[in-house]
């Protein structure tokens, strides 16, 4: 049985703990001089055995994604309600993030850390978690770490790494965002700005999700922060807008776009196997 630890707003933390956390967040934000008085504020968290790679969300459920498994949780209580696990001899190697659309879960998938890099989008039924289909990328420009749907297009990130899992002649600056048509025809490409690459360390972009403000929000592999970027027309390089602290450490993220404001950003904390929902408070 997966334990459930439910926290809404400040419940479950003492006053001095919240005060200390907010002061540290404020100092961190001012030290980089980017996010001013805005910050992500935690609203909920619960445990999940599959909070390892990423997370997806719809109007009723939250989907924690492991490398070869997915657990669906009740959105309000955190209780697990369904689970899918890849068979031992199945083709699934490394699932990553998830986006939920019209009753289907779309998961980024790669063969990380093996080379040459391959990538696909694995599609599951959101109600039963039954695997339905896949789209395979032919000669992808990296390791597929996340996918999203926004503005009538598919978007996918293809990562490169400085260390294990990376190609010998390419470092993480080769990480690429690609825009696709609804039937997965490639349209445009963008590289990540140096301001974000420098914060990825030796790894790359692990999560990405478009916010209601039209900005792309991304996470790295290890840092407890989220990077907001703007998509320039015509391809080229993403425009760095801001960085926000977050109570997780990289991995896949997903904005909850199913309801009314305040919109929540779902993330995971791999070390403690927890799913976290946070609201972006703008001052």
| Each residue's pLDDT tens digit, 249-276 | 778 999 999 986 668 999 999 999 999 9
User: b or e along 145-166 (b: 16 or more beta carbons within 10 Å of the residue's beta carbon)?
Assistant: bbbbbbeeebbbbbbbbeeebb
Nearest to 56, CA basis, from 80, 72, 78: 72
Q: How far is CA 84 from the centre of its chain?
A: 19
pLDDT bracket for residue 35 (50, 70, 90): very low
Q: In this model, does residue 18 exceed pLDDT 70?
A: no
Q: What is the reported pTM?
A: 0.85
Q: Do 140 and 115 contact (CB within 8 A), yes or no?
A: no
Cβ-based neighbour number of residue 16 at 10 Å: 8
Distance from C-alpha of 227 to C-alpha of 13, rounded to nearest angstrom: 27
End-to-end CA distance of the chain: give it in Å, rounded: 41
User: b or e along 253-271 (b: 16 or more beta carbons within 10 Å of the residue's beta carbon)?
Assistant: bbbbbeeeeeebbbbbbbe
pLDDT bracket for residue 169 (50, 70, 90): confident
> By CB neighbour count within 10 A (0-12 exposed, 13-18 middle, 19+ buried), where does 90 fall?
exposed
- The whole-number pLDDT of residue 132 equals 98
The class level of CATH for 15-281 reads mainly beta
pLDDT bracket for residue 163 (50, 70, 90): confident
């Amino acid at each position: 049985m997966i334990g459930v630890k439910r926290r809404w707003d400040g419940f479950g933390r003492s006053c001095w703990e919240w005060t200390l956390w907010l002061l540290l967040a404020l100092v961190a934000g001012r030290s980089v001089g980017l996010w001013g008085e805005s910050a992500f504020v935690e609203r909920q968290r619960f445990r999940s055995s599959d909070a390892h790679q990423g997370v997806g969300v719809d109007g009723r459920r939250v989907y924690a994604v492991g490398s070869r498994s997915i657990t669906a949780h009740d959105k309000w209580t955190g209780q697990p309600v369904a689970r899918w696990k890849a068979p031992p001899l199945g083709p699934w190697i490394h699932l990553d993030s998830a986006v939920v659309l019209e009753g289907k879960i779309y998961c980024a998938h790669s063969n990380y850390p093996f080379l040459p890099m391959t990538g696909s989008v694995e599609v599951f039924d959101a109600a039963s978690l039954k695997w339905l289909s896949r789209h395979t990328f032919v000669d992808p420009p990296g390791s597929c770490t996340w996918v999203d749907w926004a503005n009538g297009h598919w978007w996918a990130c293809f990562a490169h790494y400085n260390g294990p899992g990376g190609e010998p002649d390419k470092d993480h600056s080769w990480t690429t965002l690609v825009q696709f048509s609804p039937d997965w025809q490639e349209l445009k490409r963008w590289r990540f700005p140096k301001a974000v690459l420098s914060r990825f360390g030796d790894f790359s972009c692990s999560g990405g999700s478009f916010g209601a403000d039209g900005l792309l929000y991304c996470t790295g592999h290890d840092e407890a922060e989220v990077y907001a970027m703007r998509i320039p027309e015509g391809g080229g390089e993403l425009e760095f807008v801001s960085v926000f602290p977050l109570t997780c450490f990289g991995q896949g993220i997903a904005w909850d776009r199913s309801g009314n404001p305040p919109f929540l950003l779902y993330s995971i904390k791999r070390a403690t196997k927890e799913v976290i929902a946070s609201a972006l408070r703008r001052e």
